[in-house]
Structure formats: C-alpha cells, structure tokens
Structure 1
Amino acid sequence: MTYTHVQRVRILYKTILKLHRSLPNELQIIGTNYAREEFKRHKRCSRNEANIFMNEWTNYAITLAKQLGLRGPQTGSKKIGSALAPSALDQLRDDQIIQLYELKEESSRAKNTEGTVET
C-alpha cells in the first residue's frame, strides 16, 4: 500500500503521540506540545525541508520506541533520550538553537519540580 505524504505525516504524528503516553507525565506534556508545534510549523515547508523533517522525526520515534520497550520504561532509572552530537549544533539555524535552549530550560524546570511535594 502506498501512502500520500499527508498520510505519512499523520501516521508519524499519531505514532509519536502514542509513544509519548509512555513517558513520565512532565516529559509527556513537554514532548507532546513540542511535537504539535513542530508539525504545525512545518505544514508549508519546502520538499527538501519536509524530507529532512520526516527523517528526523522518524528517527526520534524509532529511538523512543526502542528506549521505552513494549510496555514503557521498566524502571524509573531508565534513560530516555540521547546526547546531541556537537556537530549537529553547527547545522542548526539561530532560531533552532534558541528553540533548543528553550526546550532545555523547560525540561530542566520539569525535572526540578519532579521531586517536590505539593502541600
């Protein structure tokens, strides 16, 4: 069966959202919001950008699926994610670097509040 580009994008997006359901709550919220914004932002990109976008998000989905396993993280200490290669930073535009920094800040805030108890 051959899918159209739009169908492939929808399948990938839904796959990512399903994978995010297995993440800890804070990461699920951040990841889902980030994915939603990125998919919206790239709706009208060039064919070349669309190919890069789909390849990168497909790699993300594959990596996340491998890290989560079939039933989600098996222990609270299991590492989710991977280090960004320094050479990858050289390929990012200024706005992408800013976006990456904002994502880092948001994830740091979520990590810092993870251990706190509300009273």
Structure 2
Amino acid sequence: MSNPAHVFKVRFLYKRILMLHKLLPLDLKALGDQYVKDEFKRNKIAAPEEAKRFMVEWEGYKDTLQTQVMEAARNKFKQNHFGGDLPEEQLNHFNEDQVGQLYELMQEATKPNRQFNIQDDSLHK
C-alpha cells in the first residue's frame, strides 16, 4: 500500500509542473506535458529508492523551470531560453532506456516542423 504523504507529494509536484508548463510557448508546453505525463505514469510503481531519485530529479526540474518562467515574465520583450545543459557526468549515469528517451526527446524538441499543429485555445473563447 502506498504512503499517502508520498502520493500527495507526487500529485502536488505533477500538478505544479503542468501549471508551470502553461507559461511556456505552446510547442514546448505540448511537448513537456506529454513527456511529464508519460514519465509519471511510467514510474508509478517504482521501487522506493528509484521513486526517491525520481522525485529529486523532477523537483529540480520544477525549480529550474519556475526560475526560468519568472525570468521570462520579467523580460517579456527578450528572447527567452528554457531548459539547460545536461552535464556529461550525469549522462554517464543513465541506463540505455534513459539515453534512448533523452535522444527521442531531443529529436522532437529540435524538429523544424512539429508533427501536430498547436493553436492557443484562449483565442477561440
């Protein structure tokens, strides 16, 4: 049986990340939302030690994204940069599946033409 406090923390983090994604450009929001949903679903039954690492990494992502979103809000007229570099030492700790996922994410994020057409729903209200 899951620890209710842990479940609450996971849900809170998940919702906070999706809320921060709403402040990203639409193409990054769509890509980020799908990736977060897939990752949280995939790790739903992770072993306790794995779950702990998972939460640490996603907390770090949330903190970084929150800082970048706040910076973008202060500099509305500048080109904003979201994301960051992955240190090689951290990459060396990834297993084959993680490297594959990262590669797929990089390919999708750097495509000149997205596979789908994203429109801002707020324009149609």
Q: CA RMSD in A?
A: 1.8
The alpha-carbon deviation at position 113 of structure 1 amounts to 3.1
Counterpart of 2:48, as a letter, is R
Specify the alignment match of 2:100 in structure 1: 98
Q: Does residue 67 of the first structure (1) align with residue 68 of the second (2)? A: yes
The alpha-carbon deviation at position 90 of structure 1 amounts to 0.6
The alpha-carbon deviation at position 79 of structure 1 amounts to 1.1
Counterpart of 1:34, as a letter, is Y
Instruction: Name the % identity.
Output: 38
Q: Gapped runs of 5+ residues in structure 1?
A: 115-119
Q: Gapped runs of 5+ residues in structure 2?
A: 115-125
Q: Does residue 113 of the first structure (1) align with residue 96 of the second (2)? A: no
Task: Give the match's secondary structure for 1:113.
Answer: coil
CA distance in 2, matches of 1:63, 1:15: 12
The alpha-carbon deviation at position 48 of structure 1 amounts to 0.3
Q: Does residue 56 of the first structure (1) align with residue 43 of the second (2)? A: no
CA distance in 2, matches of 1:89, 1:70: 27
CA distance in 1, matches of 2:42, 2:22: 22
CA distance in 2, matches of 1:36, 1:76: 30
Which runs of structure 1 show a deviation greater than 3 angstroms over 4 or more consecutive aligned residues? 70-73
Task: Give the match's secondary structure for 2:110.
Answer: helix
CA distance in 2, matches of 1:103, 1:58: 19
Task: Give the match's secondary structure for 1:69.
Answer: helix
Q: Aligned residues, how many?
A: 110
Task: State which of 69, 80, 85 in structure 2 corresponds to 1:78.
Answer: 80
The alpha-carbon deviation at position 74 of structure 1 amounts to 2.3
CA distance in 1, matches of 2:31, 2:77: 21
Specify the alignment match of 2:13 in structure 1: 12
The alpha-carbon deviation at position 76 of structure 1 amounts to 5.0
- Is the 8 Å Cα contact of residues 17 and 62 (structure 2) preserved in structure 1? yes
